[in-house]
Amino acid sequence: MTTAERLLAWARAVAAHPELGLQGTWPRAAALLGRQALEEGLDGFWMRQLPQMRMATRATQLVCVERFVRDRDLVIGLRTAWAALSRACHHHPYELAPTAHELEHWFSSVDELLVRLSEEV
């Protein structure tokens, strides 16, 4: 099991068991773990493609990934999942935290994206 897969499994566990002492913080904790899983997959991708890119910001990496991945849906999926999870990691007044259902939807996307990203050479 890769680090990204392990992080995603932890994210799902946190979302599935909010009663484990993370009262009120479990949605953001799960989102953070999900985003870390996606970022770990991106790190692995850049290590294979262009190792220097790992030093760039995530925003820069997500802009540049288009030059290395010809699958437009994959590029859009990466950007969308990262943005959604990033937004969910932070408290926003007057906004509800994401639900377990929303988190699982994003985690499923991350799962699929990690598989597809690992196949890119």
Using one digit for the tens of pLDDT, what is the confidence trace for 33-91? Answer: 999 999 999 999 999 999 999 899 999 999 999 999 888 999 999 999 999 999 999 88
H or E, element range at 23: none
Q: What is the DSSP letter of 80?
A: H
**For the chain, domain boundaries:** 3-119
Task: Identify the pLDDT of residue 22.
Answer: 66
The CATH code of domain 3-119 reads 1.20.120
Using one digit for the tens of pLDDT, what is the confidence trace for 20-37? Answer: 766 778 899 999 999 999
Task: Identify the pLDDT of residue 121.
Answer: 64
Other beta carbons within 10 angstroms of residue 111's beta carbon come to 19
What pTM does this model have? Answer: 0.90
